[in-house]
Amino acid sequence: MFRSYIEQLLEENQRLREASRNSISSSALPTPNTTTAHDAEPTAEASEDDETVRNPLLEDRAWFFPINTSEMPIHIAEAADAAFATRFRQALSTDGHRHIPRTHYVTDEELMKLRDVDCQWPTGPRARFLVKVTLNTIGQRYHIVRKSVIWDGLEVAIRNPVGCDELFKCKLWAIFALGEVFSTRTISPDGIFPGLKYFARACRMLCVLSERPRIDSIEILLLLSVYSLTLNRRHAAYYLASSAVRLGIVMGLHLSVPEYQLRDRGAREHRHRIWWTAYIFDRLWASKLGQPASIQDDDIDVDYPSNEGLTGPQSKDFGDPDYIIANIRLARLATHIISSIYKRKGQHGVFSQRVQQALRDLRSFVEELPSHLQLETDDSMPMKTKAIVYLHLSFNQFVVLATRPVLLHVFRTYRESLRTPANSPTHPIPETALALAEACIRCARHSYRLLTECWIDGAFATFGYFDTQLLFSAATILAISSLMNGKDAQSDGDHFETAAQFLSQLDQGGNFAAKEFCRHIDAMKGLMREVGGTGSYAVDPSVPPSSALPGAVQGEEMQYTPGSMVTAGMALAEPSLQQFLSQPDLDLRFIDTSIYDSGLQSLYWPDLRAEDWMGPGPSGVP
């Protein structure tokens, strides 16, 4: 009887094992949430009609690029500017064109070598100068440190560096690095990138992960993140910003601390603002790479920046709260654009509706922007407005990010029409699609003009990343517009050439991001000459007028004359686009479905598995 009981236990154990395995197998499958029949139904529909839900320029599989120095291929996000430049070249030619890997950045090995190099503490006057530069550049755009604390601590460190707190000294090294990179105009005779030795020293001092992190640790991570972008180390910058968010979560910065536990109003405000800066960095850097954010908005319960209650000297440590809140809103919109337009799975609604919602949100942002954050209307751009210019440049970039898949599809349709016999029937592109493409081009023109003003006024950072990246993004859109034979194609082609010349000068001056982007620009220019001849890229006399072509972008050019600077919202204020944003039912089905017909998807998605996809030469990452 005892043996029978043992056998029963063994049989029961076997049944439980099988049930457990079945449960694990079921949970591993990518099944939709089936909490209720009503909740499950939209997910099932999205799965059945996934092609109309997903961005039509996205393939079923993610894009990975093999490199010679890694056993793992590198993921290339479609939201990245370099990836879009590759898609443009693939749309421009019937031949397959390879992605150009990123090879111009400071490598890990170079940084490791510098960590063992002795870095001398700057003299007192030099240290004060570098701190002032950092506070007057990055410090005008983002709240990272309290100015009074930095100035007081700097004087202590100058008098007695040995007796200064090690974490504060690490922060000063990071500030010195930024001060040098934003105040230098040429590479030093020894060939060392400006501020790199200071940066390496700060990284060496921050090698231990803190179990009880301090606000100083988050400040240092944010400073190093900004500097990493100037080295074109985008992945490292994203990692550092994300780490700052994680440290903030560990410290509870994403939650409001009771006032009785922290009565110092200045300390409370700094706590709030340093969290939101980490939030902004994480989301903005992620949008440049097409990556997800590190924290969901539902998990955040902390006050927005405010100057209420700040009195006396401490009030000078805190800038305009409205400006920070505007950046928070833009960072949130950036994450929404990436997740709703460039995400492959879990989307609800057709692609064109998600583009419409993104533009509605951006339009609301402009309409609710305080008047003092609007651009000045005269043609001068004093330094005090540089932060506001960056705010509008970021807005333009997010409009471009939301609409450039549509522009590229309109361009592809236009190219197809040129290869179609004149007597063959063509399907005209709806006005709503043309309005979206035009909004993309207008924002690129606006960004180009703002950046040109920065260049003329000497405010364009020689070794900075932000200006260079935004100029390249705008130049790519202008290149597309110049080939569509619209009435402004010639001027867009001229502006593309000017932007390319700016990038070339930055490349020759040592800007790492410009070195990368110039490779894409050169590849574009070569193909554009083949398409448009050796002269102008834009105007081909053999091509019919733009009004007769289904892919040509129409609309009035934004007038730009000295004394009349355009504003960020003008591209979204066009009547055709306003009509698009107001209508509930969209006429954009040609985008949602046509790219999957007749095998046209291969125009954008060459087989990345081919052995010759990665060309010879130095390997790198996107």
Q: Does pLDDT of 242 surpass 70?
A: yes
Q: How far apart are CA 72 and CA 106, in angstroms?
A: 20
Share of the chain above pLDDT 90, in %: 51
- Ramachandran assignment for 379, one of left (phi > 0), alpha (psi -120 to 50 degrees), beta (any other): alpha
Instruction: Produce one character per residue of 409-444: b if its CB has 16 or more CB atoms within 10 Å, e if not.
Output: bbbbbbbbbeeeeeeeeeeebbebbbbbbbbbbbbb
Task: Give the type of residue at 565.
Answer: M
How many residues are there in the chain? Answer: 622
- Ramachandran assignment for 254, one of left (phi > 0), alpha (psi -120 to 50 degrees), beta (any other): alpha
- Picking from 57-66, 344-353, 360-369, which range would have the lowest pLDDT averaged per residue? 57-66
**Residue scoring higher pLDDT (377 or 594):** 377
Q: How far apart are CA 291 and CA 329, in angstroms?
A: 18
Average predicted confidence (pLDDT) for the chain: 79
- Per-residue pLDDT at 585: 55
What pLDDT digit, counting tens, does each position of 407-425 carry?
A: 999 998 888 877 766 666 6
- Per-residue pLDDT at 59: 56
CB-CB contact of 404 with 84 (8 Å)? yes
Q: How far apart are CA 216 and CA 175, in angstroms?
A: 12
Q: How far apart are CA 603 and CA 525, in angstroms?
A: 19
CB atoms within 10 A of CB 495: 22
| pLDDT confidence band for 48 (50 / 70 / 90) | very low
* Concatenated DSSP letters of 168-182: HHHHHHHHHHHHHHH
Report residue 162 CA to chain centroid gap: 40
What pLDDT digit, counting tens, does each position of 284-300 carry?
A: 999 999 899 999 999 99
Q: How far apart are CA 514 and CA 472, in angstroms?
A: 8
**Residue scoring higher pLDDT (457 or 557):** 457
| pLDDT confidence band for 203 (50 / 70 / 90) | very high
DSSP 8-state code for residue 214: -
- Per-residue pLDDT at 570: 60
- Domain ranges across the chain: 333-421+429-603
Q: Does pLDDT of 50 surpass 70?
A: no
For 181, residues 6+ apart whose C-beta sits below 8 A from its C-beta are 193, 194, 195, 227, 230, 463, 464
Q: How far apart are CA 489 and CA 553, in angstroms?
A: 10
Torsion over CA: 87, 88, 89, 93 (sign)? positive
- Per-residue pLDDT at 311: 87
Mean pLDDT value across residues 311-338: 94
CB atoms within 10 A of CB 104: 18
**Residue scoring higher pLDDT (487 or 19):** 487
- Per-residue pLDDT at 567: 54
Q: How far apart are CA 439 and CA 359, in angstroms?
A: 10
Q: How far apart are CA 37 and CA 604, in angstroms?
A: 38
What pLDDT digit, counting tens, does each position of 157-191 carry?
A: 999 877 788 999 999 999 999 999 999 999 888 88
Mean pLDDT value across residues 186-211: 89
Torsion over CA: 168, 172, 178, 179 (sign)? positive
- Per-residue pLDDT at 40: 35
Question: Which tokens is 223 given?
Answer: 């400073």
| pLDDT confidence band for 237 (50 / 70 / 90) | very high
- Per-residue pLDDT at 7: 64
What pLDDT digit, counting tens, does each position of 26-45 carry?
A: 333 333 333 333 333 333 34
**Residue scoring higher pLDDT (609 or 70):** 70
Report residue 599 CA to chain centroid gap: 31
CB atoms within 10 A of CB 165: 13
For 491, residues 6+ apart whose C-beta sits below 8 A from its C-beta are 557
CB-CB contact of 351 with 341 (8 Å)? yes
Query: Which CA distances in Å does 149 have to 156, 220, 226, 267?
Result: 11, 14, 20, 11
- Per-residue pLDDT at 385: 80
For 306, residues 6+ apart whose C-beta sits below 8 A from its C-beta are 269, 272, 321
Question: How many CA atoms does the CB half-sphere of 323 hold within 13 Å?
Answer: 22
Q: How far apart are CA 492 and CA 473, in angstroms?
A: 14
- Per-residue pLDDT at 426: 65
**Residue scoring higher pLDDT (574 or 216):** 216
Mean pLDDT value across residues 83-90: 91
